[in-house]
Structure 1
Amino acid sequence: MLEHNGRPPNSRSLSSCCPSSQKKSYASTVPRWVELYQSRHDGRGGGIDLSQYPPERIRNFSIIAHVDHGKSTLADRLLELTGTIRKGHGQPQYLDKLQVERERGITVKAQTAAMFHRHVVDHLDSSDAQMTPTYLLNLIDTPGHVDFSYEVSRSLAACQGALLVVDAAQGVQAQTVANFYLAFESNLSIIPVINKIDQPTADPERVKAQLKSLFDLDPKDALLTSAKTGQGLEQVLPSVIERIPPPPGKCDSPLRMLLLDSYYDEYKGVICHVAVVDGTLRKGDKIASAATGQSYEILDVGIMHPELTSTGMLFTGQVGYIVSGMRSTKEARVGDTLHYAKIPVTPLSGFKPAKHMVFSGLYPANGSDFDALNHAIERLTCNDASVSVAKESSTALGMGFRCGFLGLLHMDVFHQRLEQEYGAQIISTIPTVPYIFEFSDGSKIQVQNPAALPSTAAKRVTACWEPTVIATIIIPTEFVGPIITLCSERRGEQLEYSFIDSQRALMKYRLPLREIIVDFYDELKSITSGYASFDYEDSEYQKSDLVKLDLLLNGQPVDAMATIVHNLKAQRIGRELVDKLKKFIDRHMFEITIQAAVGSKIIARETLSAMRKNVLAKCYGGDITRKRKLLEKQKEGKKRMKRVGSVDIPQEAFHELLKTS
């Protein structure tokens, strides 16, 4: 049980946690309420009694921001201020737990942590502070990259408010705009936090003006902080308690829980993160899924404090985890409603399902590893429900999977996690987007795999459509001209052009998704010296002149390398593909012809000469006809080898083709 003072278990005072080198700088920012908190709470609790926290003493909030604006660092400081983790112990960016997150310095998975905080006001004396209630705060740290906005939308479904973090030097960026509107559409209370005010280039007043002009947020409501030094942090948690409403659930209603996320544990099976909307959940209860109808028994239930901490119960408005013995990854459907078995309820609205924007084939590098890759993908998709998986086969690569991703970085991270966490060696095909084709007989099909498009000889294509996106680009004003040129080359249509302030411009373009999934972001950053920010949201399908581009080796099409391109760019892309492929295919004992074709028309060709044995080595002098006879004999042998021989395509060739726009 918690002691009367509400002290959470396993926590320490801040003064005992700070390294000696950091005490001086940090002590100057510690307000009186933190000192009161430390002086009153030096004992350790036993278990955690969540019944002490009715909905009015619970706050569920997330931290949203653009990439690298300080979300994870701010989360660290809040965890330290509440004694949830010890300052100076463990790893920085505590909630970034994946290896890929640490290597790349980005957040990929939204992570939850429960904190206990006594809301003490400065003017209270110690006797008043003793009676001040302790609040349960559920913090969710979200990703900032555009590809992981699905994680953000899932996190916001469990929250009533959000901290909108903006870099004091960089100001509002593209993903800041996108995340604001995600939170605004979810009717969340938004608290603007201007972070990194300790930087020499920080300009908080300019950022306040941007927040006012773009989002109509009152500049007086903005909190000025530095998560690195601790400056201004004393006002964050009181603002969360005072300005974010409690959860609106009903304690006396039947149980309803929203399934937010899940991951697979080798010993416990599927562990689900849930938000209790109505009712109470206890260990041993029988629950059922509204989506599948299957029933389970609760084997363990608790909160993330900050790791799995068993409490035996969860009450209305609280966010935690459950272990129910789920063994199949298909049982834990993200967005599902869980309720008491045999007590039906109205399912919760959940949140928008993931919309896959990029498709790619995944094949084992060694054909015999198909079952191992299947097992790895099953385990990983339980942890990342935003990936779609379907089995497919290729004549060039054998059995594999066609996977749908939210974006190119999402695909890259998924590949890296497969290799790092499961040791899988994979070959990925050229990424594609879903197209719609109409044929002469009036039929329409959606094509995700270009190899599945019927040949034009059997069916004539009469019309085709490609997906488009609305792209938001924020850039310094001096780069406006080159960016307009870049978007025009990518078949973009300008929708909006305005100035945020005297230094930065906001541009909106409608762009074909195919044109931005590979190297558009890299070129954008290169042109603007890294100062541009980019975000996009999906839009409608647009009619376009598309053709299927095939790559042929010795006249045989390689289905894994087929792609769909715009007719005007087919010849240039075909030339780039055959040039790159020639560099990566090893020479064989026979000649290899590399061709790019649109239908029956060859638009680019390269020839890889055969390795030859010197058959004239022993033919000293003599009649020239003897030498010609030997050479002709070798030539015929090469022709037979070309007919029956197979061309080995190295894995590097597939990866290099990914970079061809």
Structure 2
Amino acid sequence: MADRLLEYTNTITQREAQAQLLDNMDLERERGITIKSHAIQMNFIEDGQEYVLNLIDTPGHVDFSYEVSRSIAACEGALLIVDASQGIQAQTISNLYLALEHDLEIIPILNKMDLPGAMPEEVKDQIVDLIGCKREEIIPASGKTGQGIPDILKAIIERIPAPVGDPEAPLQALIFDSVFNSFRGIIAYYKVVNGEIKKGDKVKFINTNKEYLADEVGVLKLNMFPKQVVKTGDVGYIISGIKEAREVKVGDTITNVARPSLESIQGFEEVKPMVFAGIYPVDTDEFEELREAMHKLQLNDASIVFEPESSAALGFGFRCGFLGMLHMEIIQERLEREFDMTVITTVPNVSYIAKSTRDEEIAVHNPSDLPDPSKLEYVQEPFIKANIITKAEFVGPVMSLCIQKRGVIVNQSYLTADRVELVFEMPMGEIVFDFYDKLKTISKGYASFDYHQIGYRQSDLVRLDILLNGEHVDALSSLIHRSNSYDFGKRICEKLRELIPRQQFEIAIQASIGAKVIARENVKAMRKDVTAKCYGGDISRKRKLLEKQKKGKKRMRQVGNVEIPQTAFMAVLKLD
């Protein structure tokens, strides 16, 4: 759809055109999803009047909703694009509510009208029910054939208000994104709310209190387009030779040093990470390089949070917060592709709140932070409200999956004859691993899933530790509900027995809760046949040799330590 708009307004030439033009990251092209939002300016002439339109193309997946919230803070209106063959999906609804909270003008568009499986009338009913617009306001279109594009541009000009701002006021510009350029430093993207920004101005970032010289300012066409001045309502970029990634905060306000604005713009909310995991360099010497890479990534993806931590098994690394499992996977891929960093990721988990017997509240991001059971009053875990929209035939399997994950059904409503919306309350920790994949599998790809946090609730959680020869392996411990702990412990021990190579001595793999061992597997020792040279003779001669070997094995077991292969850490994630 974005490609057709850019072609129709002559923003790009035939030579520059390619499919999904704004998705310029290799990963986005491979997976067919949008990961980063992209801003681009279009000029359009309607009835002899010239208009400037600033478009931001945003991702749709729930894990990248922070990108959407940042873009919405900089916009006046939104195009709600609904697939005519699929109907409304759960993440469409959550992104729509975000736009409505910011009072954006919504233009509903029915896309993929050229498909033989399109159901325009049914889907129009869904849109009318959802946003209460008139049927004739919905624009039928197709991103493939270009149908409806002139109508969309006309609707944008008629329905979406122009940015409200005072060109004479002191400069206020909201930063909504930034990128790292190895030649020119950090480039910040912003929307000018009031005033204007000129080349050569001295500017100040209000939150960080740093001052810079605007070496180059301009607007965002397909490439950056330098200008002498960027005026109120425009979306542009600024290059000012910033070297430090920490100095640019998304949501910060740029103002002029000569005529400063005293207050910053109220931007968007702080990011709330949902899933936590440790990221460690494979080679411990690369810790500093990993730190640099993380800072540069954070520029481009402000939703990732990280702090240093160390582990006995893996050395120094970072504890990172992500918005979901897909987000975590993408960050790992980007570290490997863009910065050549090979990293180990530990078992992902969510953060809990532990209440100690002294009435202190402790935030637990890592299972090893959980206090001793004797000093623990109770543990609270984060709960979410999950909205699942699926076809009626898959209701049974979807329900049993959610109940198996300790979910409680709150509501079930039929949107149309064969589309059902199920609302569950369930623990966040249960959906972290593989919930989304399983949901897609049992619904043949037809279920869409969206969630938001609803606070913390008390649960019967225990810390499951894995011991090798009595030594704790902190990277493998996890917080888990007591009812699932026995089964989970047994399965982990069995998996580790397959993966840990045999040593000269016997290795005991145990899963324990506190001091109580709940599962055990042994990796047998490799033994040399010491009795081979005894043929015939008294049994005591053989026994003497075996006893001697047994003592050696015992001594070896006290000093020997067990190397855990990297596959073992990953296998825990894929137990099912």
TM-score by structure 1 length? 0.85
- Alignment partner for residue 359 of structure 2, among 426, 442, 463? 442
CA distance in 1: counterparts of 2:95 and 2:183, whole angstroms:
36
Query: Which structure has the highest strand share of the two?
Result: 2
Give per-residue Cα distances to partners, 1:383-416, cap 9 Å, x unaligned. 1111111001111111111001111111111011
Q: Distance in 1 between matches of 2:15 and 2:445?
A: 32
Over 3 Å counting, the alpha-carbon distance change for 1:632 and 1:353 in structure 2 is: same
Q: CA deviation at 1:617?
A: 4.0
Change beyond 3 A, Cα 1:312–1:647: farther
2:306 match: 389
Q: 1:248 matched to which residue of 2? A: 164
Of 516, 519, 531, which residue of structure 1 is paired with 2:434?
519
8 A Cα contact 2:280 2:318, kept in partner: yes
Q: Report the alpha carbon displacement of residue 220 of structure 1 after superposing the two structures with TM.
A: 0.9
Matches of 2:316 and 2:209, distance apart in 1:
33
**CA shift in 2, pair 1:471/1:567, >3 Å:** same
Is residue 277 of structure 2 the alignment partner of residue 370 of structure 1?
A: no
Q: Which amino acid aligns with 2:280?
A: Y
Match of 1:505 in 2: 420
1:345-398 deviation digits (Å, cap 9, x = unpaired): 221110111101011011111222212222211211121111111001111111
Q: Which residue of 2 aligns with 1:474?
A: 389
Q: Deviations over 1:618-644 (max 9, x none)?
A: 444444333332322222222222222
Q: Residue 585 in 1 paired to residue 512 in 2?
A: no
The answer to whether the 8 Å contact 1:367/1:399 transfers is yes
- Aligned mate of 2:458, from 540, 543, 548: 543
Letter in 1 for 2:170: P
Superposition CA RMSD, Å: 1.4
Structure 2 counterpart SS, 1:330: helix
Alignment of 1:501-650 (within 5 A): 501-650=416-565
Q: Distance in 2 between matches of 1:200 and 1:643?
A: 70
Structure 1 CA distance for aligned equivalents of residues 104 and 526 of structure 2: 68
What corresponds to 1:14 in structure 2?
Answer: none
Q: Percent identity?
A: 48
Structure 2 matches for 1:163-174, cutoff 5 A?
163-174=79-90
Tell whether the 8 Å contact from 1:254 to 1:345 is kept in structure 2 after alignment.
no
CA distance in 2, matches of 1:97, 1:270: 19
Question: Any idea what the Cα deviations from partners look like across 1:542-589, whole Å, max 9, x if unmatched?
Answer: 111111111111111111111111111111111122122222222222
Q: Does the CA contact (< 8 Å) of 2:356 and 2:371 recur in 1?
A: no
The structure-2 alpha-carbon separation of the partners of 1:559 and 1:598, relative to structure 1 and needing over 3 Å to count, comes to same
CA distance in structure 2 between the aligned counterparts of 1:602 and 1:492, rounded to whole angstroms = 28
1:8-87 mapped onto 2 (5 Å cutoff): 74-87=1-14
Distance apart, 1:320 and its partner CA: 1.2
- Matched residues in 2 for 1:89 and 1:264: separation? 24
The answer as to whether partners of 1:193 and 1:224 remain within 8 angstroms in 2 is yes
Aligned partner of 1:118 among 45, 48, 55: 45
Change beyond 3 A, Cα 1:194–1:340: same
**Mapping for residues 210-609 of structure 1, pairs under 5 Å:** 210-341=126-257, 343-456=260-373, 459-609=374-524
Question: What CA deviation, in whole Å up to 9, does each residue of 1:155-203 have, x standing for no partner?
Answer: 0111100110000000001011111111111100000110001111101
What secondary structure, in the 3-state scheme, does the structure 2 residue paired with 1:324 have?
A: strand
Match of 1:47 in 2: none
SS of equivalent residue, structure 2 residue 167? coil
| Structure 1 portions without partners, runs of 5+ | 1-73, 121-131
Range with greater deviation from structure 2 (651-660 or 569-578): 651-660
Tell me the alpha carbon deviations over residues 440-487 of structure 1, each in whole angstroms, 9 at most, x when there is no partner: 11111010011122323xx52111111111111001111112222222
AA of the residue aligned to 2:281:
P
Q: Which runs of 5+ in 2 are unaligned?
A: none
Aligned partner of 2:300: which letter? N
Distance in 1 separating the partners of 2:564 and 2:511: 16
For residues 469 and 18 of structure 2, the distance between their equivalents in structure 1, rounded to whole angstroms, comes to: 54
1:238-261 deviations in Å (ceiling 9; x for gaps): 111111100011111000010101
Amino acid in structure 1 at the alignment position of 2:447: A
- Single out whichever of 206-215 and 228-237 deviates more from structure 2: 228-237
- Aligned pair count? 575
Aligned letter for 1:395?
A: A
CA apart distance, 1:494: 1.8
Give the distance between the partners of 1:191 and 1:249, measured in 2 at CA: 23
Deviation at 1:307, TM superposition (A): 1.5
